[in-house]
């Protein structure tokens, strides 16, 4: 009961910001409080954020024992998280600390720790940002996820029921349950939303659809929106924090009242940057100047919703999705995955699914149906000319659907 009250407190405490100066003032206050009360042995004792090292997942995990403030060892945390993953029973905790595994694609496993209070804060915040208005109506949420967590279950209450759909179970087994429960909110990774949208037997009519955990690409969006006659919203959330959400206009905004995002520019001309994230609230496992592996595209235009939070045009994908190419003059060139995706999708109305992997000078192209091979070949050749690049050698393969519990990555550099 206490937890529900806490969620309500954070729910009501979450505000909208319409003035940029208010956002900055608020961040400054929160940051100062965070750094002043920081108990971690790993981070420097300083009030200046610039004194903190920029860290990545590797550093974060290697220093797990020193970063968390409860003396929980990585070994203990990992064993609890792995046990939960194996048994698919996600109720185990260390004391009242929720332990989870991050579903990263990079292979190195991340473990996260969240206290009761932090999970209530998270739940209150996400409900406030994502629930359709008017507030306080009943909702049935269907949530497709690789792994459940106490964190998500904490959202359940008398007005909100919450069903977790395990992605290790074949999708067709879930469809019957979905039809029976008729969820009002559907939350799933983009590729799962797409498969649900293409199902002949699914009869649900959700009022809100939220894409999570993967890049939502234009072709997915179109299929999903047509099927459910609803815009697709996005939540950009990872172990390191709840970073962005779509507003009522459908544009992504950084959640700058809970995270401070520094930008490491990789291509200022095209507004592409890597976010360096500081979570302004977490103290159990403080996240400070954590460099994500993602590429975001800044939207400089002011969104018509009026929010003062920075607008993001797109989440382009992971840094590893950028193809390292060579120009005709033999200079290095970064080809962003978006160009590949567009070249493939926009020239082929009949393509169902694809994946390209660059290995050395070869591009492995997995497509379904394979009959569109020539069009893809032509589109990519044009792309090389446009960008003045040395062409890659193409090897075509039949595309096979991967397991749904793996994150989809359509463009990848090995």
How far, in Å, CA of 110 to CA of 250, rounded? Answer: 30
For residue 28, the minimal CB distance to Zn ion (Å) is 23
Query: Do 342 and 354 form a contact (C-beta atoms < 8 A)?
Result: no
Q: Where are the alpha helices (DSSP H) in 291-390?
A: 337-346, 373-386
- The residue within the footprint of Zn ion, chosen from 22, 25, 249, 378 (CB under 5 A), is 249
How far, in Å, CA of 169 to CA of 188, rounded? Answer: 14
CA-based nearest residue to 186, from 226, 155, 145: 145
Among left, alpha and beta (phi > 0; psi -120 to 50; other), residue 88 is left
Sole window of 22-30, 54-62, 239-247, 403-411 interacting with Zn ion (rule: CB under 5 A): 239-247
For residue 245, the minimal CB distance to Zn ion (Å) is 10
Nearer to Zn ion (CB atom), residue 159 or residue 302 = 302
Query: Do 259 and 278 form a contact (C-beta atoms < 8 A)?
Result: yes
Determine if 234 is a binding residue for Zn ion (CB under 5 A). Answer: no
Nearer to Zn ion (CB atom), residue 69 or residue 251 = 251
For residue 234, the minimal CB distance to Zn ion (Å) is 12
Q: Which of residues 12-71 bind Zn ion (CB under 5 A)?
A: none
- The residue within the footprint of Zn ion, chosen from 102, 251, 285, 413 (CB under 5 A), is 251
Strands 160-166 and 139-145: parallel
Nearer to Zn ion (CB atom), residue 37 or residue 304 = 304
Nearer to Zn ion (CB atom), residue 212 or residue 247 = 247
For residue 305, the minimal CB distance to Zn ion (Å) is 3
3-state secondary structure of 232: strand
Nearer to Zn ion (CB atom), residue 49 or residue 305 = 305
Token pair for 213: 């955990």
x/- map, 301-320, Zn ion, by CB under 5 A: --x-x-x-------------
How far, in Å, CA of 15 to CA of 376, rounded? Answer: 47
Cα–chain center distance at 215: 7
**How many residues interact with Zn ion (rule CB under 5 A)?**
6
How far, in Å, CA of 412 to CA of 106, rounded? Answer: 11
- Token pair 């209530």: residue: 120
For residue 399, the minimal CB distance to Zn ion (Å) is 35
For residue 246, the minimal CB distance to Zn ion (Å) is 8
- The residue within the footprint of Zn ion, chosen from 141, 247, 322, 411 (CB under 5 A), is 247
Query: Do 288 and 272 form a contact (C-beta atoms < 8 A)?
Result: no
Sole window of 40-48, 90-98, 162-170, 244-252 interacting with Zn ion (rule: CB under 5 A): 244-252
Phi, psi angle pair for 291, to nearest 5°: -85, 115
For residue 310, the minimal CB distance to Zn ion (Å) is 10
CA distances from residue 229 to 182, 191, 205, 221 in whole angstroms, order as listed: 16, 18, 9, 11
Nearer to Zn ion (CB atom), residue 5 or residue 302 = 302
Nearer to Zn ion (CB atom), residue 246 or residue 413 = 246
Sole window of 52-60, 173-181, 296-304, 361-369 interacting with Zn ion (rule: CB under 5 A): 296-304
Partners of 188 in beta bridges: 211
Sole window of 24-32, 194-202, 246-254, 398-406 interacting with Zn ion (rule: CB under 5 A): 246-254
For residue 255, the minimal CB distance to Zn ion (Å) is 12
Query: Do 216 and 232 form a contact (C-beta atoms < 8 A)?
Result: yes
**Helix axes of 337-346 and 218-228: crossing angle, nearest 10 degrees:** 50
For residue 71, the minimal CB distance to Zn ion (Å) is 42
Nearer to Zn ion (CB atom), residue 277 or residue 303 = 303
Residue 233: which H helix or E strand, with range?
A: strand 232-238
Partners of 208 in beta bridges: 185
Nearer to Zn ion (CB atom), residue 111 or residue 303 = 303
For residue 253, the minimal CB distance to Zn ion (Å) is 6
Sole window of 70-78, 82-90, 243-251, 327-335 interacting with Zn ion (rule: CB under 5 A): 243-251
Q: What residue ranges bind Zn ion (CB under 5 A)?
A: 247, 249, 251, 303, 305, 307
């Amino acid at each position: 009961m206490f937890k529900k009250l806490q969620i309500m407190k954070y729910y009501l405490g979450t505000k909208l910001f319409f003035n940029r100066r208010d956002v900055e003032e608020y961040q400054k206050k929160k940051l100062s409080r965070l750094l002043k009360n920081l108990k971690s042995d790993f981070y420097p004792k300083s009030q200046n954020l610039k004194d903190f090292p920029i860290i990545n997942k590797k550093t974060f995990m290697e220093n797990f024992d020193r970063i968390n403030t409860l003396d929980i060892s990585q070994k203990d945390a990992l064993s609890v998280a792995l046990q939960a993953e194996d048994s698919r029973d996600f109720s185990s905790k260390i004391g009242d600390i929720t332990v989870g595994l991050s579903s990263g694609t990079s292979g190195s496993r991340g473990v996260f720790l969240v206290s009761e209070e932090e999970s209530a804060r998270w739940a209150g915040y996400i409900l406030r940002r994502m629930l359709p208005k008017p507030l306080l109506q009943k909702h049935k949420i269907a949530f497709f996820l690789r792994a459940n967590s106490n964190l998500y279950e904490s959202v359940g209450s008398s007005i909100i029921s919450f069903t977790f759909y395990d992605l290790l179970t074949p999708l067709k087994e879930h469809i019957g349950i979905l039809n029976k429960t008729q969820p009002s909110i559907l939350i799933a990774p983009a590729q799962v939303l797409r498969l649900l949208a293409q199902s002949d037997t699914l009869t649900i009519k959700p009022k809100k659809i939220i894409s999570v955990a993967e890049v939502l690409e234009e072709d997915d969006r179109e299929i999903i929106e047509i099927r459910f006659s609803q815009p697709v919203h996005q939540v950009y959330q990872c172990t390191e924090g709840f970073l962005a959400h779509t507003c009522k206009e459908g544009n992504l905004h950084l959640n700058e009242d809970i995270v401070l995002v520094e930008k490491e520019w990789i291509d200022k001309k095209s507004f592409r940057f890597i976010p360096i994230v500081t979570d302004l609230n977490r103290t159990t496992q403080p996240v400070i100047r954590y460099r994500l592996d993602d590429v975001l595209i800044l939207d400089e235009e002011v969104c018509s919703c009026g929010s003062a939070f920075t607008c993001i045009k797109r989440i382009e994908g992971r840094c590893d999705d950028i193809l390292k190419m060579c120009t005709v003059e033999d200079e290095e060139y970064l080809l962003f995955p978006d160009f590949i995706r567009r070249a493939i999708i926009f020239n082929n109305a009949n393509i169902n699914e694809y994946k390209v992997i660059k290995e050395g000078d070869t591009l492995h192209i997995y497509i379904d149906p394979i009959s569109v091979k020539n069009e893809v070949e032509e589109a990519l050749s044009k792309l090389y000319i446009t960008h003045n690049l040395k062409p890659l050698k193409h090897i075509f393969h039949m595309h096979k659907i991967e397991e749904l519990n793996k994150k989809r990555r359509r463009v990848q550099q090995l």
